[in-house]
Amino acid sequence: MLLVGEYAGQPIGLVHLVSLHQGEYWCEGVRVAADYRGMGVGALLLQHGIALAQAQAARVLRLLTDETNTGMQQLVARMGFRECLRATSYVAPAMTDMLPTAQPLDRSWLPQLAQLVHDAPVMPYSQGLYLHDWRCYRLTVERLHWHLEQGDIVALPTYNGERAAAWAIAPAQRYPRPVCFVWGDMQPLAVLLRDLRCMQVPMTTKKNWMYPADVAVRMLLAEDSPAIPALLAAGFAHYAVGERCYELVFAEHAG
């Protein structure tokens, strides 16, 4: 759903809303033409976007902005949004000196993964959310099922005799490959994250304007997540500014 603000017959701003899953709506962003910034156009567009989401029976509306965008942060705070997640960006190059053992999981793993997610140590740090395609979703059984169907969930076959001791939602269709969610203790998780680096082919030309050419795997992770030591052990490094996710929960649909 795209709302366009006009003045004298000319477009001067827009706001884009996307329906995600089970009443979750996402605001792709508020854009205002340079000559009309600072005049309240962005606030008016966001107000209309909120009203449109409510009209669609949304339970929650979320958006993402980088931590340096204080203007947007102040705007959404005035509109009643609350900060629900601070994410830090980590990246790593491809590895070519070892063979990966990680494999995709099939749909038969759904019951086990659903229970593991419920008890996952990282979940309190992300407020039960995870980032996929630069959008924050609540990680539900339905979302897990969807990712299994897509072949997005990879795991170590065994680690010290334990099956799927570490697993991740890591869609292979994007480059750099995004790691959206991770589960596991530090040591097996570090092995899995190294495997993900080994599963990527090094690129000699830049494939994504946001990252250097040698970046093959990326992850946005809650800034105080217990998974960070595993990322660092796997050769990931902190990259650029972080992101902040904000949400507005509509009272009539809360709970």
Q: Are residues 22 and 46 in the same domain?
A: yes
Read off the tokens for 196. 């993900």
Residue type, 208: N
**What pLDDT is recorded for position 127?**
86
Q: Are residues 249 and 233 in the same domain?
A: no
**What pLDDT is recorded for position 251?**
75
Read off the tokens for 38. 């600072």
**What pLDDT is recorded for position 240?**
78
Buried b / exposed e over 207-236, threshold 16 CB at 10 Å, is eeeebeeebbbbbbbbbebbbbebbeebbb
Q: Judge whether 189 and 155 are in contact, CB under 8 Å.
A: no
Q: Are residues 72 and 95 in the same domain?
A: no
Q: CA 232, CA 225: separation in Å to the nearest integer?
A: 12
Q: Are residues 138 and 19 in the same domain?
A: no
What domain range includes position 132?
89-238
Read off the tokens for 86. 């601070």
Q: Are residues 135 and 16 in the same domain?
A: no
The predicted-structure confidence for 127-151, as pLDDT tens digits, reads as follows 889 999 889 999 999 999 999 999 9
Number of domains within the chain = 2
**Which segments of the chain are extended strands (E)?**
2-7, 10-21, 24-32, 60-66, 82-93, 103-104, 129-132, 135-138, 153-155, 158-159, 162-163, 166-169, 177-179, 181-184, 215-222, 237-238, 243-249
Q: Are residues 177 and 108 in the same domain?
A: yes
The predicted-structure confidence for 191-235, as pLDDT tens digits, reads as follows 999 999 999 987 766 566 678 788 899 999 888 899 999 999 999
Q: Are residues 119 and 53 in the same domain?
A: no
Q: Are residues 35 and 121 in the same domain?
A: no
**Model confidence at 166: pLDDT above 80:** yes
Q: Are residues 140 and 230 in the same domain?
A: yes
The predicted-structure confidence for 106-132, as pLDDT tens digits, reads as follows 999 999 998 888 777 777 778 889 999
pLDDT band at 252 (very low <50, low <70, confident <90, very high): low
The predicted-structure confidence for 69-109, as pLDDT tens digits, reads as follows 999 999 999 999 999 999 999 999 999 888 899 999 999 99
Return phi, psi of residue 206, to 5°. -70, 130
Q: CA 179, CA 185: separation in Å to the nearest integer?
A: 16
Q: Are residues 75 and 192 in the same domain?
A: no
**What pLDDT is recorded for position 205?**
63
Q: CA 106, CA 157: separation in Å to the nearest integer?
A: 12
Q: Are residues 20 and 76 in the same domain?
A: yes
**What pLDDT is recorded for position 191?**
96
Q: Are residues 97 and 218 in the same domain?
A: yes
CATH number for the domain harbouring residue 11: 3.40.630.30
